Structure 1
């Protein structure tokens, strides 16, 4: 057991994993994310930080996920996961950025010492870390750099390599490892335990109901394909997948014209499914690390594409939970609420506000998850399809101690308990969320068309504008209003006022040097026009070359 900082070992490994010159790293809403070829030094240093984080928490297991989620295949990234499967505590995000940007080995060693001092960390405290990666070609080399960091700081056994798996599985492993044998035991800490837990809950919830029709699942040519294949073995005869976009061998296919982000941003069917979807038949898309979910179908009257995004999922799930809580005789004893971001469609917000409390927070899972924890049952889904349901300790205790007085109350209570097992409350989970949606649809006997008819989305458009420095764009009011650059918000307001049911906001991307422009309006044409006009304002403000101004922005 080490009693002093292993400075010589850190120095040796740091020289092996030197920081590239003139590159600045920022730990954003999804950790570090950029071209995979730039991340060697960051991975080594995050291995060190993960070990320090575990030591700071008395040896609790910390998670490290190597992924760039929905980004192109050339990108990669890394994020740390705290003991209950939640995102890294915000104060430690600054430590991550602090270590990642040390220009030299001497500066890195000094910064490590500063983190130890500020965190009151005992370097002799054992540390435990579990890590995994997605299917990106750069992943193996980056994991090797991460492992050097874990070894250098003295993580027990050099860490637990969970291999190639989904982000939700990694979060699950962290939570189950830390809760094993406690009153908060979350399940068996293994990938097999994850599948078995979901399968058992699914079978219980579908018992006595007609089996859902086989579901087409677009796996984005990513690790979700492995997850679907592994889980399918646990639910044979109960639930059937028809996986597509499962090519993990051909270079360049990950997230390329496939996956949840493609469906959301292009608002169209992935090309691999063109001509393969029958009218009214629903399908779903995962993203590259299987933590986002998007549903879609072809209208059975017009054969037009219809998207069922995170807002639609939130409305479906929240409504079902309200009904179950009432049917269980627990109305007034469990507070339900929904958390959204500014990207939520205005129609979804109005629909939900008539049924239960709705709160708007800044973009980013850490904000949504924290706000959801304030409710007895908190539902959060970003419009991009990332989300989950959080149950408070008090709610879990109440469900397990509740004494129903009628058969209806008994069934509703049992369903709620099984839902706490089906839902991966640690993080957004495309597989778990898909099963949740299918259970609700089966319970209600809904088709995709009936689900979609709950409310009509306002037409909307999301546009990305590349900028030299995204840090110049600062917001307030849960990111719905710009405070800087000064004067830009007033110009946006003037444009929005020209459109019926118009709404638009601008925020800096959390993952790349870009600004995202969102717009809604009463018609598709108006929403597109408003989005591009606002994008034009941003382009001009950023000093874009007028000669190269995209024609859509005019």
Structure 2
């Protein structure tokens, strides 16, 4: 039986794969595993235990939030429903409100019909695989549920939750002055923000404006159906055009739950997660805040980033794909910055997970502080030409053991030397292998990727 939890919680087609009943059962099971049901929280009146629930703007979030909250309340937890709020907002509030656990209902950058549920433990950290396995193991099981005064309540507090989160975001680059006035470090910066009609449609524009920026907002009118639709980080074309049309200094694009951010320079050119991480890593190093002068990246980060950072005296540590694995390595090594090419950036000085709005604020702040344009900053982190080919209908698990495939990988790697690299990555959800090649020229990357893809298709065919 396949695992229910994927790399980022439980996800699927809402009301087909992810039903109200499943959400109810997940809330019930999470209470048992994360809440150690039956124990009291002595920090709360009468020992009440609490959970926090937030969601993105999908219409299915309404019934899923109600069902998830019902499962938690039936298990004896008082539930704070924070309404529509970014995923990193739930992580932050789970920590500062000292609740036992948090939950987000979102499918991130996926199309509107999909949805998902992911949990945060006390402190605002994503769950390790072992905890997710425990939740799945008790899913749907009967247990001695509380009755009478032992059941929980569900309260709604969107305004307080959102304001707490925005205050936190703005303070990351603009701590209050001694007289309690708010500095405006982004004053004069004209920026376009594409909110993907998602969870940060209120948060990001307000945070950027409070920090002093002149913000032009697009795709911030969610109707339950338009999240990520031709908008946001997966469809940046509108943002690119708007930046050029308005003579903005730069633009930022979020995904549906706002845990990632990509950027656009003044000419409409994309600035990806690798380049953003490079800019922020250098800034942290100069400020003495980059622990061990190290940036944590995934195997998908471009070799160009690593070579540029090496010249700047910054090391890189590599993990599997997924911001949860980046965070695990950051916690293990005590590192302060890490992320993914897709725009998930984890800044441990201020967050426990990827936070797109935080990334936008800190990136804007570095543009102002440095006195350079985003185009100039990004140019210091050139990206090597990259080719990615999906090879379907293959035995993906044999990609790392097949002798001929491994011999081909070794041959191509020697051919590229230090000027490029190759990577075979089995898909987490489909019977396919992703073949990636980076090289000094696009032509060479294409040729290497094509040769390797043919070997994978021939040797691993099902």
Fold shared by both chains (TM-score > 0.5): yes
C-alpha contact 1:337 1:375 (8 A) present in aligned 2: no
For 1:255-266, list aligned pairs within 5 A.
Answer: 255-262=228-235
Task: Give the alignment partner of residue 507 of structure 1, picking from 391, 408, 425.
Answer: 425
Maintained 8 Å contact 1:29/1:511: no
For the residue of structure 2 that corresponds to 1:366, the secondary structure is helix
- Go from structure 1 to structure 2 and tell me whether the alpha carbon gap of 1:448 and 1:234 turns closer, same or farther (over 3 Å shift): closer
Structure 1 residues 354-404: Cα deviation after superposition (integer angstroms, max 9, x where no partner): 4133211222222211221245552102111102222xxxxxxxxxxxxxx
Residue number in structure 1 paired with 2:352: 426
Q: CA deviation at 1:250?
A: 7.5
Residues 216 and 524 (structure 1), Cα distance of their counterparts in 2 relative to 1, 3 Å cut: farther
The superposition leaves residues 313-370 of structure 1 with CA deviations (integer Å, 9 ceiling, x where unpaired) of 22211211221229xxxx9xx6342111111111211222341332112222222112
2:29 is matched with: 49
Q: What's the counterpart of residue 128 of structure 1?
A: 50
Residue 315 (structure 1) aligns with: 278
How many angstroms does 1:492 deviate by? 4.0
Q: Is the 8 A contact 1:462 1:519 kept in 2?
A: yes
Residues 145/362 of structure 1: CA separation in 2 closer, same or farther (3 Å cut): same
Identify which of 378, 386, 390 aligns with 2:336: 378
- Residue of structure 1 in register with 2:445 after alignment: 527
Q: How does 1:89-488 map to 2 (within 5 A)?
A: 127-152=49-74, 154-157=75-78, 159-178=79-98, 190-204=161-175, 207=183, 211-231=187-207, 234-235=210-211, 238-249=212-223, 251=225, 253-262=226-235, 269-271=236-238, 273-274=240-241, 277=244, 281-297=249-265, 299=267, 306-325=269-288, 335-354=292-311, 355-375=313-333, 377-390=335-348, 420=349, 423=350, 425-465=351-391, 467=393, 472-473=396-397, 482-484=399-401, 487-488=404-405
Give unpaired runs (5+ residues) of structure 2: 101-122, 125-158, 177-181
- Offset at 1:281? 3.8
CA offset at residue 239 of structure 1?
A: 1.7
Contact 1:292 1:386 in 2 (8 A): yes
TM-superposed deviation, 1:509: 3.6
Q: Output one character per residue of 1:139-198: Cα deviation in whole Å (capped at 9) or x when no partner.
A: 22222332342244x2323x2211121101111111112289xxx99xx98221111122
The change in CA–CA distance for 1:274 and 1:143 in structure 2 (over 3 A counts) is same
Name the CA shift for 1:39/1:378 in 2 (closer, same or farther; >3 Å): same
For residue 30 of structure 1, what is the aligned residue in structure 2?
Answer: 8
Q: Closer, same or farther in 2 for the Cα pair 1:165/1:35, shift >3 Å?
A: same
Residue of structure 1 equivalent to 2:434: 516
| Superposition RMSD in Å | 3.6
CA contact (8 A) 2:260 2:345 kept: yes
Q: What is the TM-score normalised by the length of structure 2?
A: 0.73
Q: Which runs of 4+ in 1 moved over 6 A?
A: none
